[in-house]
A = this chain, B = another copy of it.
Amino acid sequence: MSRRAWAVTVRYRASLSLVGTVLRYLSIPLLVPLLVSLYYAESVVPFVVAVLLTAGLGTALERLDPDPDLGAREGLLMVAFTWFAVAVVGSVPYLVEAHGVPGLMAPIHPDSTLGNPANALFEAMSGFTTTGATVLGDISFDSHTRGVMLWRQLTQWLGGMGIVVLAVAILPELSVGGAQLMDAEAPGPGIEKFTPRIARTARILWAAYMGFTAIEIGLLYGLHVVGPPLGMPGLAPNMDLYNAVAHGLTTMPTGGFSPEARSIEAFSAAVQWVVIPFMVVAGTNFALFWHALAGDRTRLFEDQEWRAFLGVLGVLGAIVSAVLFTGSGFVETAPSGGTFETAYLTDVAAAVGASVEPSIRHALFQVVSIVTTTGYANTDFNAWSPVLKYALLFGMFVGGSAGSTGGGVKVVRWYIVLKTVRRELFTTSHPAAVRPVRLNGRPLDEDGIRGVFAFTALYLVLFFLGTLVLFLDAARVGQGLSVLATMSAVAATLGNVGPGFGAVGPMGSYLGFSAPAKLLMVVLMWIGRLEIIPVLACLTPEFWRR
């Protein structure tokens, strides 16, 4: 097939044009950190540059096709492109902060690790995909402006419910092909269109998402405000408005970025208890909330995926609580190159062991944070014993629910896999029997089941292969990594979880990797957020043929 025939079969200009529209609209949320910087009397140049660049690039792309019309393949391409494009332009404020603009502004923080383009792209992709893996060297306002730090939080919030879902909600030109686009972007095997018009569904999803975010911000800031008058100054002393907003913006998208270097450990037990249920909500299928608000609460409480999701949280939480409570849940000596000191280990072990509330809180918070793929830490779980780290690694593969903002394989897929395996055991001993696999009472079609298995297998194959490649690269550059650290780095980026173990632990960072390794992980985060298949489909030769 000639090159020319290639070029005309997939109308990539139509895809790029719509990417342009999304970019043009992206300049609006960029005004939020601009205003924050203005409020804190910081330079607004990083955001002015980003707004101009994003709007300009968007307008230019839109000109490629004034009346874009998307088929199946153009839709896949548009979704895959969109997510890469937002990460690229989203990294601009980080680069400008570090390098300044010649003749206009001197570098604000010339030592920022995000001055390196690979790092800036990593941080932006990690943000939009709600991964929450960081390459910030020093997470503090000494090294970054409050505007940039808020942008970092905001990227997660924008990516959480889905940039394409947001586009479908607000762009009238997507009211026709929108369902298919949302399918390509949405977490889980197929989204539920719970209203006849897809734009309305998208708007409801975003409204619920905004509502939960507002409630969490209100509760967090409320604790801060009511503490002193109630005579409880320790209730949430450092959860000021900035922090309440910053964490509200990263809980609901299961993002996990925090402007605090110690993540949620920096806050009180009360704050931690408030965050837990919001992570659970973020990991729940949002369609179920819609049904519950519409009066049908049994849909939520009898949903098989939700029950399995809560079951996993309960069982894993109980196991981890029990091990922490016995006092054997901590490593005996601080490992060299770890992210904590022996004194820290002794303190945490003493506070948690044999104490009911701390052991349940540490266990439940971390299990919920990892399984929902939020990635917050209320303790440096690098200090935990290997068995508990393995339990968390295990949890990374479970993931959130379909239709939630969580990543990973997703509970419903495991549920379908296990029910189908069960059916296979039955047909082995009853070869003549025909039995459909049911979910919430409805039989699933075999094509859908096959898709679930293909995704799950591909996910695990990419995990194992990605770990091998990352490990070989680490050996090449002489970066001393353990098997667990390397596996967790791949599981945490592909699953959009964020922190792993060892050097990439919750108080560590991904800075130590080589630039090629970081770019590999950028790709893992990207394809992980879009659930692999849509992106990889664009990379096959058959995609480009008639």
Name A418's contact: one of B76, B461, B483 (CB within 8 Å). Answer: B461
Measured in the bound complex, the distance between the Cα atoms of B430 and A543 in whole Å is 8
Which of A21-29, A56-64, A467-475 has 4 or more CB atoms under 8 Å from chain B?
Answer: A467-475
Q: Could you say which of A328, A486, A542 has the most chain B C-beta atoms within 10 Å of its C-beta?
A: A542
15 contacts between A and B (CB under 8 A): A72-B430, A76-B429, A328-B478, A386-B481, A386-B486, A387-B475, A390-B471, A391-B471, A393-B483, A424-B454, A424-B533, A425-B536, A425-B542, A426-B542, A429-B537
Tell me whether B428 and A483 are in contact (CB under 8 A).
Answer: no
State whether the Cβ of A211 lies closer than 8 Å to any Cβ in chain B: no
Tell me whether B386 and A422 are in contact (CB under 8 A).
Answer: no
Q: A387-B481, A391-B471 are in contact. List 18 more A-B contacts (CB 8 A).
A: A72-B429, A328-B475, A328-B478, A385-B475, A387-B471, A390-B468, A390-B487, A393-B483, A421-B454, A421-B458, A424-B458, A424-B533, A425-B542, A426-B543, A428-B537, A429-B537, A429-B542, A460-B460
State whether the Cβ of A195 lies closer than 8 Å to any Cβ in chain B: no
Residues of chain B contacted by A533 (CB below 8 angstroms)? 424-425, 428
Measured in the bound complex, the distance between the Cα atoms of B394 and A467 in whole Å is 10
Residues of chain B contacted by A405 (CB below 8 angstroms)? none
**Closest Cβ neighbor of A424 among chain B residues:** B454
Tell me whether A323 and B475 are in contact (CB under 8 A).
Answer: yes
Contact residues, A350-376 vs B (CB, 8 A): none
Residues of chain B contacted by A446 (CB below 8 angstroms)? 446, 450
- The smallest C-beta distance from A100 to any residue of chain B, in angstroms, reads 40
| A280-291 vs B, Cβ < 8 Å mask (1 yes, 0 no) | 000000000000
- The smallest C-beta distance from A462 to any residue of chain B, in angstroms, reads 10
Residues of chain B contacted by A397 (CB below 8 angstroms)? 464
Measured in the bound complex, the distance between the Cα atoms of B502 and A483 in whole Å is 12
State whether the Cβ of A261 lies closer than 8 Å to any Cβ in chain B: no
State whether the Cβ of A262 lies closer than 8 Å to any Cβ in chain B: no
- Contact size class for A? 35 or more
Measured in the bound complex, the distance between the Cα atoms of B468 and A319 in whole Å is 11
- The smallest C-beta distance from A194 to any residue of chain B, in angstroms, reads 23
- The smallest C-beta distance from A202 to any residue of chain B, in angstroms, reads 22
Tell me whether B461 and A429 are in contact (CB under 8 A).
Answer: no
Question: Provided the pairs A446-B450, A484-B483 are in contact, do residues A425 and B468 lie with their beta carbons within 8 angstroms?
Answer: no
Tell me whether A468 and B394 are in contact (CB under 8 A).
Answer: yes
Contact residues, A189-214 vs B (CB, 8 A): none
Measured in the bound complex, the distance between the Cα atoms of B540 and A11 in whole Å is 52
Interface residues of A (CB under 8 A from B): 72-73, 76, 319, 323, 328, 385-387, 389-391, 393-394, 397, 417-418, 420-422, 424-426, 428-431, 446, 449-451, 453-458, 460-461, 464, 467-468, 471-472, 474-475, 478, 481-484, 486-487, 533-534, 536-538, 540, 542-543
Residues of chain B contacted by A538 (CB below 8 angstroms)? 429
Tell me whether B483 and A389 are in contact (CB under 8 A).
Answer: yes
Measured in the bound complex, the distance between the Cα atoms of B446 and A420 in whole Å is 14
Residues of chain B contacted by A390 (CB below 8 angstroms)? 467-468, 471, 483, 486-487
Name A542's contact: one of B430, B454, B467 (CB within 8 Å). Answer: B430
Measured in the bound complex, the distance between the Cα atoms of B387 and A537 in whole Å is 30
Measured in the bound complex, the distance between the Cα atoms of B418 and A461 in whole Å is 9
Tell me whether B426 and A540 are in contact (CB under 8 A).
Answer: yes
Measured in the bound complex, the distance between the Cα atoms of B385 and A97 in whole Å is 40
- The smallest C-beta distance from A299 to any residue of chain B, in angstroms, reads 28
Tell me whether A429 and B73 are in contact (CB under 8 A).
Answer: yes
**Closest Cβ neighbor of A323 among chain B residues:** B475
**Closest Cβ neighbor of A423 among chain B residues:** B454
Residues of chain B contacted by A475 (CB below 8 angstroms)? 323, 328, 385, 387
Tell me whether A472 and B319 are in contact (CB under 8 A).
Answer: yes
Measured in the bound complex, the distance between the Cα atoms of B422 and A145 in whole Å is 46
Residues of chain B contacted by A455 (CB below 8 angstroms)? 424
Tell me whether B534 and A468 are in contact (CB under 8 A).
Answer: no
Residues of chain B contacted by A449 (CB below 8 angstroms)? 450
Measured in the bound complex, the distance between the Cα atoms of B487 and A454 in whole Å is 24
Name A482's contact: one of B386, B453, B534 (CB within 8 Å). Answer: B386
Measured in the bound complex, the distance between the Cα atoms of B451 and A471 in whole Å is 32
Tell me whether B422 and A540 are in contact (CB under 8 A).
Answer: yes
Residues of chain B contacted by A391 (CB below 8 angstroms)? 468, 471
Question: Provided the pairs A431-B72, A475-B385, A486-B390 are in contact, do residues A417 and B457 lie with their beta carbons within 8 angstroms?
Answer: yes
Residues of chain B contacted by A323 (CB below 8 angstroms)? 472, 475
Measured in the bound complex, the distance between the Cα atoms of B422 and A461 in whole Å is 13
**Closest Cβ neighbor of A481 among chain B residues:** B386
List the 4 closest A-B pairs by CB distance, nearest first.
A453-B453, A424-B454, A428-B537, A387-B471
Measured in the bound complex, the distance between the Cα atoms of B542 and A387 in whole Å is 35
Residues of chain B contacted by A385 (CB below 8 angstroms)? 475
Residues of chain B contacted by A460 (CB below 8 angstroms)? 460
Measured in the bound complex, the distance between the Cα atoms of B240 and A259 in whole Å is 69
Measured in the bound complex, the distance between the Cα atoms of B537 and A430 in whole Å is 10
Question: Provided the pairs A73-B429, A418-B461 are in contact, do residues A471 and B537 lie with their beta carbons within 8 angstroms?
Answer: no
Measured in the bound complex, the distance between the Cα atoms of B451 and A455 in whole Å is 16
**Closest Cβ neighbor of A467 among chain B residues:** B390
